[in-house]
Structure 1
Amino acid sequence: MSYAPQIRVPATYMRGGTSKGMFFRLDDLPEKARNPGPERDRLLLRVIGSPDPYQKHTDGMGGATSSTSKTVILSKSTQENHDVDYLFGQVAIDKPVIDWSGNCGNLTAAVGAFAINSGYVPQDRIPENGTAVVRIWQANIRKTIIANVPITNGEVQETGDFELDGVTFPAAEVQVEFMDPADAEGSMFPTGNLVDELDVPGIGTLQATMINAGIPTVFINAEAVGYSGTELQDAINSDPEALAMFETIRAHGAVKMGLIETIDDAVARQHTPKVAFVAPPAGYTASSGKEIAASDIDVLVRALSMGKLHHAMMGTAAVAIAIAAAIPGTLVNLAAGGGDRTSVTFGHPSGTLQVGAEAKEVEGQWVATKAVMSRSARILMEGWVRVPED
């Protein structure tokens, strides 16, 4: 009996923000995987090690969490005045599914560095010392993102003293600007309301703010589902009934937002929308042991990603939080004390995060113009990833 050999695919393993994933240049992929479709999905699933019924990713590069089961494909931009096209795939752990419906805001911080190292940014735009501005076209959601990448002695600076809650070691600060972060198709509030009554069978009628900015997100009040907003991962992720409840809320929110047609469609669209619960400020102990005082934050937010409570906060969900907080009357804004604001500091399981946001009302419709946050990024390994040829 003959067996297929392994093939080598050039790849870079990178951390961006509180996530990490496998980065590929489009031209380095096997020819059959250079276009969207089953061949590409099969390759990337095998790289990550999914589907894995043991949910460990022992036979792949994934980390068995939503934050570490990610893939990125980059290419020279097809868009005018952009440097690189960035395509993101969120890989399910125990299912043969890659969700291409949204962006990863955390890994965006690594895209800028990868683009520079790959030669996608002209050399004359890279200072000897200073900041290189990388113009990213986010191909999943068709939006512009600007990454401000620090440069030292003509090379990307990765080490530094910037600390990000949810990341163990300090690194260089990368400021990321999400331009016009709301969905280009339709209203930022798909239902037309800042707050809706969301009917969820078996759970009840919940107030919900459903927003499409950064990433489609369903916000509910923590107290409405029996939580305080200070919970850490284990309080949710060790409770199958809680996870099932949040997935049911997410699925019904997805239908209400017009993202899927039926509840059953939610299985194939796990990356979006996100579901998050909010509460007014309160003190708590973060997962690192750091004490967070109520006075340190404006609002508490806990968000689920790929069916589990996130250990910190997804970058795109942070954009949704900031935009919703900037709009008077949303559940996020009300939990933060109401009123107008141009930035928000929220508490998450690993600590705190500040995000700036700009939103304005135009002819009765709210429009998000920009969201800004700081992240960091670092190359963890580079070379080749191997997968069976078949």
Structure 2
Amino acid sequence: MYQPQIKIPATYMRGGTSKGVFFRLQDLPEAAQVAGEKRDKLLLRVIGSPDPYGKHTDGMGGATSSTSKTVILSASDKPDHDVDYLFGQVSIDKPFIDWSGNCGNLTAAVGAFAIANDLVHPDRIPDDGIAEIRIWQANIQKTIIAHIPMTNGEVQETGDFELDGVTFPAAEVQVDFVEPVDGAIFPTGNLVDKLEVPGVGVLNATLINAGIPTVFLNADEIGYQGTELQEAINGSPEALARFETIRAHGAIKMGLIQDVAEAANRQHTPKVAFVASPKSYTASSGKQVNAEDIDLLVRALSMGKLHHAMMGTAAVAIAAAAAIPGTLVNQAAGGGDRESVTFGHPSGTLTVGGKASQANGHWNVDKVSMSRSARVLMEGWVRIPSDTLA
């Protein structure tokens, strides 16, 4: 006899250029309140993965890396933090969830969800003005500060802030990534490495661990201009396979994996991005991006596909690399000392700020800031078959 579905409180939210299903830890079934197979099975079923059709028709996912995301939040017991934020990147066609990194875009929605769902002490929330929500990012063990606008005691979601890659304007949310580097910012100790990739060649690469581990390449060395839109790469299986090979060998060079075969089960990190000096182009929305309005071009891949805009964590890596003279990102932006850059991506432009300092020959990144927006799309319950947790 078939059992009725399980009903779980959830909120569907957009944060930056991503969207995902948000849960309070306490609302999950008891078996899924701890990390492990049952939690992963639950979240896979919520999203609708694995889906051999690549559509997520039977779940809440959107069948892209930007929309196959889950978030679990709880009140933080860490000093000087309000909420703990755990992010799961759900594979579309394989039965696994990658817990190895953060989603910078969805970070913009974390503070709003935490306030609305009683995860933040009332004393920390003004009736009007800006609530500074101190987030502990559990995946990468880092602090993030989200500046949430408040009006009449409630989160203000509407506004006139426009974010390229998002169709409609909303309220601006400033997000500060505090000391976003985990360990050495350059795992190899070099600003630029020679990355040997079988079947591709020897590439100049900046391997950086800020926001999320990222492999930066020069566009011209791999046959691109830096003005490409999604179809130019996502429509080519050969190009995608080549980028995955580069990513796997970059992961080895960064010490994230020991063998290229391990990369298949670590799709979320590292990211691969390529940079170029400014050129004018037409964004996917039809918007004209003029070379004189940007400092450089960046295109980045996430979960095996070219991203339609820019991942928030990769934007942190861009800001950090741009602030350090000599990296490929800094060189593409014209070199020199920089505390902010505006870069062109497939959907338009984004400005990010980064402050770096050098001590005893080692680089440190103190803070990276960017503006995003977020809003609730739907709230209520998700339902999954009860045998999911059997």
Q: Same fold (TM over 0.5)?
A: yes
**Paired residue for 1:87?**
86
Equivalent positions of 1:151-190 (< 5 A) are 151-183=150-182, 185=183, 187-190=184-187
Counterparts of 2:370 and 2:271, CA distance in 1: 19
After TM superposition, the score normalised by the length of structure 2 is: 0.99
The question of 1:261 aligning with 2:258 is answered yes
SS class of match (1:166): coil
**Paired residue for 2:289?**
292
Determine which of 346, 360, 365 is the counterpart of 2:362: 365
The question of 1:245 aligning with 2:242 is answered yes
**Paired residue for 2:328?**
331
Counterparts of 1:258 and 1:151, CA distance in 2: 43
For residue 152 of structure 2, what is the amino acid of its counterpart?
N
SS class of match (1:24): strand
For residue 368 of structure 2, what is the amino acid of its counterpart?
A
The question of 1:199 aligning with 2:196 is answered yes
Deviation at 1:244, TM superposition (A): 0.3
For residue 349 of structure 2, what is the amino acid of its counterpart?
T
SS class of match (1:85): strand
**Paired residue for 1:69?**
68
Render the CA deviation track for 1:161-188: whole Å, top value 9, x for unaligned. Answer: 00000000000000000000011x3x11
Counterparts of 2:120 and 2:368, CA distance in 1: 23
**Paired residue for 2:53?**
54
Counterparts of 1:138 and 1:72, CA distance in 2: 11
**Paired residue for 1:145?**
144
The question of 1:210 aligning with 2:201 is answered no
SS class of match (2:251): helix
Counterparts of 2:92 and 2:293, CA distance in 1: 35
The question of 1:320 aligning with 2:317 is answered yes
Counterparts of 1:177 and 1:380, CA distance in 2: 24
Deviation at 1:304, TM superposition (A): 0.1
**Paired residue for 2:95?**
96
The question of 1:29 aligning with 2:28 is answered yes
Counterparts of 1:114 and 1:22, CA distance in 2: 11
**Paired residue for 2:308?**
311
Which range moved further: 20-29 or 112-121? 112-121
Counterparts of 1:354 and 1:158, CA distance in 2: 21
Render the CA deviation track for 1:34-86: whole Å, top value 9, x for unaligned. Answer: 00000000000000000000000000000000000000000010211100000
Deviation at 1:124, TM superposition (A): 2.1
**Paired residue for 1:384?**
381
Deviation at 1:122, TM superposition (A): 1.7
Which range moved further: 119-128 or 84-93? 119-128
SS class of match (2:161): coil
Counterparts of 1:212 and 1:273, CA distance in 2: 9
For residue 155 of structure 2, what is the amino acid of its counterpart?
V
Counterparts of 1:24 and 1:119, CA distance in 2: 12
For residue 357 of structure 2, what is the amino acid of its counterpart?
K
Counterparts of 1:293 and 1:125, CA distance in 2: 42
Deviation at 1:4, TM superposition (A): 3.0
Render the CA deviation track for 1:203-229: whole Å, top value 9, x for unaligned. Answer: 000000000000000000000110000
SS class of match (1:378): strand
Counterparts of 1:70 and 1:110, CA distance in 2: 13
For residue 102 of structure 2, what is the amino acid of its counterpart?
N
**Paired residue for 1:229?**
226
The question of 1:43 aligning with 2:37 is answered no
Counterparts of 2:211 and 2:125, CA distance in 1: 28
Deviation at 1:120, TM superposition (A): 1.6
After TM superposition, the score normalised by the length of structure 1 is: 0.99
SS class of match (2:20): strand
SS class of match (1:42): helix
SS class of match (1:68): coil
SS class of match (2:131): strand
Unaligned runs of 5+ in 1: none
SS class of match (2:109): helix
Counterparts of 1:61 and 1:4, CA distance in 2: 21
SS class of match (1:190): coil
Counterparts of 1:157 and 1:118, CA distance in 2: 15
For the aligned residues, what is the CA RMSD?
0.5
Deviation at 1:126, TM superposition (A): 1.6
For residue 34 of structure 1, what is the amino acid of its counterpart?
Q
Counterparts of 1:322 and 1:381, CA distance in 2: 32
